[in-house]
Each structure stands twice: as structure tokens, then as C-alpha cells.
Amino acid sequence: MNLLSVEEAVGRNPYPGRGILVGKSEDGKYAVAAYFIMGRSENSRNRVFVEDGGGIRTQAFDPAKLEDPSLIIYAPVRVLGSDLIVTNGDQTDTVYENLQKGQTFEESLRSRQFEPDGPNYTPRISAVLHFDKEFSFEMSILKSYEGNPDCNARYTFSYDHPIKGEGRFIHTYVSDGNPLPSFEGEPERVKIQGDIDSFTEELWKELDPDNKVSLFVRFVDLSTGKYETKICNKNK
């Protein structure tokens, strides 16, 4: 699998949908997590990210224009002890609650499946970053099998000893389409370059200007556990 630049992975794709990128900074000092949302409808585009404790949540930019909130208003990022949970839906809470009960990341998602938004059947993508001993992370995608909603396909990927300067990128859709084609294969390898400011700027710049909505980026210092967060919202 080729190691892609942010421009190759994101900039050349008009509609990856929602995306999670997790890895390690090129100096090896930081764990990196990024999550972005895109939208084609007015309801999807009417959102911003706001900080919420150690995590973030989505919020309607103009509450008067909010239609169905069920699939667009949720907490994408939550912190549980030394774990950082990032997902594209309310399964963030499912993972959070079940990890508290002692379940594994994979077990915690057994009660969930793709979103009920046929004919797209948007995949649920999730990640958890572990900092209890050495930094490691897991990623998951729950999707319909070849667009067939009768079968829920589950894939989990685990990465120990992440490589510096490299992240894994999973997104909901291959690209634009009707219906939207679900992501396929293993999470893509993407370069992580620069500090949090330059990396956030690069990722935000490469997201399609018409469809991008919000971006979250966090760098976690692997020696101290302290973190810095950047949020970009198209709606201001």
C-alpha cells in the first residue's frame, strides 16, 4: 500500500464524506488524531464542531434550519481515562459505555451497524487511541455488504508501535456518487508532516471547499499526556 500525501488522500477526492486519521507526528513526539465532516445537503452543512470537556460535539450552526438531527448531532470525540475515542456518529457513546464495562473495542461495537440512510447506508467508522502503556490504536468500519442492507460487514484494524510521520486514514465513502460507494479495504497510509498548526492547515486546505464542514485535530504529547486541539468550521 502506497504512502499518500494529504493532497493525494484528501485533495483529489471531492467527497470522502466523514474521515478519521490516526497516527504519529513525524518527530515521533505526538499521537495525532483528526476527524472531519463534509455535507451535500443543507442539513448536513448546517453544523459546527464545539469543544465539550475533553472531547467535542456537533452543533447546529443555525438552529432554525435544523431538520432531522438523528444522524448529524452527536459527540464525535470523547475521553475515557487514557483512551481517546473518535467516531462518525453516536456510537462514540456506545464505545465509551462498553469500554467502561470491560469490553474490547471490537466487542463494544457488536450492537451497532451502518447508518439507516438507504440507499447510501453510510458506514460507521470508529477509532480508539490507547495511551495506558505504549501508544497504539484501533480502527473499525461497519458497513453494508456490497450495498446489501441485509448483511452487516464488520472490520477491525489494530496498530501497535505506530510509525512516526505516518497515519491511517479511513473514510465513509470511496468518493462522490449516487448512491455513495462505501469505503473499501484497509485504512490508507497517509503522511503526517509538520506541527499541529501546519498539519491542520494542510488538511483543511485540501478538503473540497464546497463540501467541507468541520475539522478536528489533536496532538497528544506522548511523554506528558498533555494535548493541543485545533478546530476549523466553515460556518463562522
Mean pLDDT of 114-131: 97
Count other Cβ atoms within 10 Å, centred on residue 146.
Answer: 9
- Residue 91 φ/ψ, nearest 5 degrees: -70, -10
Q: Which of 26-30, 40-44, 136-140 has the lowest mean pLDDT?
A: 40-44
Cell 506541527, located at residue: 195
| Residues paired with residue 137 on neighbouring β-strands, in sequence order | 129, 159
CA 90 to each of CA 69, 124, 224: distance values in angstroms, whole numbers, following the listed order: 11, 9, 30
Mean pLDDT of 209-236: 97
Enter the pTM of the model. Answer: 0.97
Whether the CB-CB separation of 142 and 154 falls below 8 Å is answered with yes
* CA–CA dist 107, 211 (Å, integer): 33
Residue type, 114: F
* CA–CA dist 31, 23 (Å, integer): 6
Q: What is the pLDDT of residue 70?
A: 87
CA 111 to each of CA 96, 142, 152, 154, 217: distance values in angstroms, whole numbers, following the listed order: 13, 11, 11, 11, 28
Using DSSP's 3-state secondary structure scheme, residue 111 falls into coil
Please determine, for residue 133, whether its predicted confidence score (pLDDT) is greater than 90.
Answer: no
pLDDT, tens digit (0-9, with 9 covering 90-100), for 70-83: 889 999 999 999 99
